[in-house]
Structure formats: structure tokens, C-alpha cells
Chains A and B, each alone.
Chain A
């Protein structure tokens, strides 16, 4: 596994490394070619060729002047001939002392011929500087030497030319070879680059495919979620329908048990009828709560806002519980701030339901002490608080308490009864009314449920 990974790693770096190597080679070749171009040796070769050619020409000019002088002994012609010889002499100094000595190759191959020409010119120089240089015999000698020189320079020119072209051809071949290498390297470079590009493109398309698959998966998930939601909706609908359907016969049962009380019953019958009535009421309450929940879940709970006087509503709620209070040492009190007692635009039925639920819970879990309903008016709205001195609620439980079918403790339902739906329903109703219910509680010391509805007194 590790080995293949290593192999992969090398393979990944192989192509770029190759590309860089080829690139560097190409650059080196280019550099070499450039430096070759700048060589001026060939120019110097041209110069030496030119110098020898000039030597040849100057000799011809001298020769013709000497011939003219032979036929017409004119001092002016002689003077010119001497000038020509001086120029001729200057030509060999070029060959002798110039930087052309750098061109060793040429120097070696034309050495003999050059030496011959130097010797002839030195001889001519001796004749020219002699006292009677223009005498006929010396003139004949000069002419002979000039003809000798002519043969030598001609040979020199031709041999130089051939050497030069040989060298040129060689250099050109070398250059061509270099260009050839350069071409090969560039082709290799292009191939490597193409391969890299090909691999990159492949990688990219793979990535795109992966992305496409991820998208596909996401959309599948989405449909699954939608299906689940639909199933849950169907369940809620089913629950609502069933509750509604059951409520009708339950009303029958309740009504009939009421009617049964009116008839003469012995004590045993009375007890049973009581049990029927209680069971039916409990079932009825559960059904109502279930219906509320399904409505809330489906978002179909419609609030019925109307102008409501607060105090009578609160008194009604308190009054509902005062009858059953005598059995426990618990006092139930209402603290309504004077400025809060006004007319509000709210849903009185739902508000009553919430307060009944909260007070019911408080009384249920308070064995002794007091339960207080406090109402204040704050800048944020109308503040409600239900405070008790009951058993209190564990902090961990406080978080889950408002969820459906949850009670603070599994044992609670056995001890105190109840469906666990009340708080969840209250929370949702308050939320729909624009508030947010919170709890503050300490174990064995009591609890306090409070919320604020964003409503202000209506102006009369």
C-alpha cells in the first residue's frame, strides 16, 4: 500500500521534472547557439582573406607601374611605384602582426606560403632601398620578384578561400547539429507538456464527475427527507382525524354519564358512574390536546384575536382551581399590576389555555406553600409569571421539558398523571403569539415559568 503510494508520488513528479530538464536543456542550447552567433572569428577570417587579396592586387599594380617605368623612365612613375611598394609592404605587416595570429588553424596551413611572400617582399625592399634601385638590371630583378610574388599570393588566396570555406562548412554543420538537438528537445518538451495537460484535464473531469455524484446524492437525500416529512404529516393528519372522530362518541359517553347521575342510583352504581365520567373526561382532555398538537404541527392553528379585558379572564382561571384547593395546604394568589389591568387585543381562549396549563402544572407539583400568577406591563409587552414552591425541575430536564410527550421524569406520569403534551402545546401557542416561554427552577425549591406577549393596552 505504502509502496504503491510512493510509486504514485514519483509518477506525479516525474513529468514536471522531465519538463524542467528539457526546458533547461533547450535554454542551454539556445545560449550556446547565441554565443556561437556572436563569434567574430569568421569575420576575422574574411579580413585576412581580404588582406591577402589586397596584397595580390597591390602587387599587380606595382608590377604594371614597374613595366611602365621600363618603357618610359619617368621619375614620377618611379615615385609612384615606390609608394605602391610601401603600400604593398604595409599589407604584409597585417599578415605578420595583426590579431589574425589568433587563427592558428589558418596560420599553420598557410605558413609556408606566407613565409615565401614575406621573403620575396623583403628582397624587393632591399632592392628598392639600394642606391641605384632604378637601374635596368635591378628593375628586371624587381619585376621577376613581383611575378614570383604574384604566383605565391594567388596560391595563398585560393588556399585561404578553401580553408575558410572548409571551416565555415564545419561550423555550419556544428550549428545545424545544435539546431537539430534543439528541435528534438523542443519536441520532447511539447510532448511532456501535452501529457501533463492531458493528465490535468483528466483529473479535472474526474473531479467534475465526483461533484456530479455528490449532487445526485444530495438530491436523493432531499427527496428522502421530503418523503419522511410527508409521512409525518400524514400521521398528524391521521391523528387529528381520529381524535375528531373519537370525540363525537366520547361526548355521547360523557352526556350519558351525566344523565345517568340524574337517575336514582345506589351507592355502588354511583361509584361506577363516577369512574365512567372521570375516565371519559380524561380521555376527552387527551383528545383535545392531541387535536391541538396536530393543528400546531400542521401550522393550522388560527388565533382568534379580539379585544379582551384582562382581569375577568384571570379571575376565571383562578376560580377554576380554587374549588379543588381545599385538599392541599397550598394558597393560590393573583398579583395583577394595576397598570396591566386593561383591554388587550389577543386570543383569550388560547391565553386561558396556556395559563390553565401552567397553573395546573404548578398546583400539581406543589404539595404545600403557594402558587402565584403575576402579571406586569413592561416596555416589551405583557409579562406573565407562574411561580410555585413545588418540587422543582432538574436542570437537565429543563431543556427537554417543552418537547412533545415529555415529562420531567418517567415516574411523574405515574405519580401525577398527565400526557406531557401541555407544556409543548403552551410553548407553541406562546410562540405563535410572538412570545417565548422560559423556566427558572431549582430542585426542591420551586419553579417559575414566565413569558412576555408583545401586546400593549388598547386605547379606549
Chain B
């Protein structure tokens, strides 16, 4: 009775590449992921320090946005890579909270459809909290002009602290 279940779990463990172990975060925790995720590294949660975030697939997005003058280069992990790393359901939604308690809801599909990044750097400089860092959700507005709506501005959360999948 026990054995088939165990075997099933084992096969699942062996053949699901998404189940790759999430490494432990050793430095200061910048981002905490909670909710419906399959990969964790601290009890029920997945926590990321700078090193761990930079180990994910990175992308540079050059775009304008309403918060900084002119066009700037933003650099950081792809939202898609983060979703893969924590093993979240593509049909779920995210509750993204910032350091000051601001919260926005973002469907995971946004991250899959567009090259949304969790920017760590702006113009090759790490974003400090006072620069609205350390993590700034950047949509590629210039590449997809139709994203220039109030709704997507609202989803561009800065000073990201936690993400909850539900």
C-alpha cells in the first residue's frame, strides 16, 4: 500500500526537472516567495538573496516608464525564470508586496507572455531602496506599447519584498 505511492513520488522526483533543488540563500534575504509553489528552501517558503537571484536567467530591458526620466537600461532575473525556479502554476496569480506595504495582483500569465524582469540594476548600478530597489518589476513598455495602461503601471511594483502565489 505504501510502496506504489513511494515509487510514484520517486519517479516524480527523478523525472521532473522542475524539481531541481532550490539552493539555500546565505546572504541578506531580498525576496520571499510564499503560497502555491513546489520548490522551497526555507520551510514552506522560497527565499532569495542577491546571489541566488543573479543565478537565474537574466535579461536587460531598455524602456521608458513613468517613474524615471528618459529611456533606461534595466537588468535582472526574468520573471519567467523565477516562476520556473519556484515551480509555480502558470494559471495562478501573484500577490506582490513592496517594503512599504503596497500590494498589487499580477497574473502569472503576464510573466509568461512578456519579458517582465525583476530588475536589480538600473544603468548597471544596483538599485538601492532609496532608488526604489532592491527589486523593481519592469514591464517592457517600449517593446509592447499596448502595455502602457494604468493597470500595468500599477503592476509595476517597486521595492518588491514578497510574492505570494495563490
- State whether A83 touches B66 (Cβ < 8 A): no
Residues of B within 8 A of A40 (CB): 150
Which secondary structure dominates chain A's binding surface?
Answer: helix
What sequence of 0s and 1s flags, for each residue 80-91 of chain B, a beta carbon within 8 Å of any chain A beta carbon? Answer: 000000000000
- Residue B129 at the chain A interface, CB threshold 8 Å: yes
A81 to chain B, nearest CB (A): 13
Which A residues touch B159, using CB under 8 A? 87, 90
Sample of 28 A–B contacts (CB below 8 Å): A43-B150, A47-B153, A58-B100, A83-B99, A83-B129, A86-B128, A86-B129, A86-B130, A87-B99, A87-B100, A87-B130, A87-B159, A89-B129, A89-B130, A90-B131, A90-B132, A90-B158, A90-B159, A93-B130, A94-B67, A94-B132, A97-B68, A98-B66, A98-B67, A98-B68, A98-B69, A99-B67, A100-B66
**A47 to B154 alpha-carbon distance, docked (Å):** 10
Residues of A within 8 A of B67 (CB): 94, 97-99
The 7 closest A-B pairs by CB, nearest first: A86-B129, A89-B130, A99-B66, A90-B132, A90-B130, A87-B100, A86-B130
A-B contact sample (13 more), CB < 8 A, given A93-B130, A94-B67: A47-B66, A47-B153, A54-B100, A87-B99, A87-B130, A87-B159, A90-B130, A90-B132, A90-B159, A94-B132, A99-B66, A99-B69, A100-B66
B81 CB to closest chain A CB (Å) equals 26
Q: Could you give, for residues 92-136 of chain B, a 1 whenever the CB lies within 8 Å of some chain A CB and a 0 otherwise?
A: 000000011000000000000000000000000000111110000
Interface centre among A43, A87, A100, by most B CB within 10 Å? A87
Give how many A-B residue pairs fall within 8 Å (CB-CB).
42
Is A44's beta carbon under 8 Å from chain B? yes
In the complex, A223 has a CB within 8 A of chain B: no
Which residues A90-130 have CB closer than 8 A to chain B? 90, 93-94, 97-101
Count, chain A residues at interface, CB 8 A: 18
Residues of B within 8 A of A83 (CB): 99, 129
Residues in A whose Cβ lies below 8 Å from that of B131: 90, 93
A residues at B contact (CB < 8 Å): 40, 43-44, 47, 54, 58, 83, 86-87, 89-90, 93-94, 97-101
Instruction: Assess whether B132 is in contact with A93, with CB atoms less than 8 Å apart.
Output: yes
Return chain A residues, CB-CB under 8 Å to B100.
54, 58, 87
Instruction: Look across to chain A and name the residue whose beta carbon is closest to the beta carbon of B149.
Output: A40
Interface residues of B in 46-93 (CB under 8 A from A): 66-69
Per-position 1/0 for B149-166, Cβ under 8 A of A? 010010000110000000
Cα of A111 to Cα of B68 in the assembled complex, Å: 19
| Residues of A with C-beta under 8 A to B68 | 97-98
> Are the C-beta atoms of B66 and A97 separated by less than 8 Å?
no
A residues near B158, Cβ cutoff 8 Å: 90
Residues in B with CB closer than 8 Å to A58 are 100
Q: How far is the CA of A43 from the CA of B151 in the complex (A)?
A: 11
B129 and A87 form a contact (CB under 8 A)? yes
Identify the closest chain B residue to A88 (Cβ): B130
Picked from A43, A54, A89, A97, the residue with its CB within 8 Å of the CB of B69 is: A97
Most A CB within 10 A of own CB, among B130, B131, B132: B130
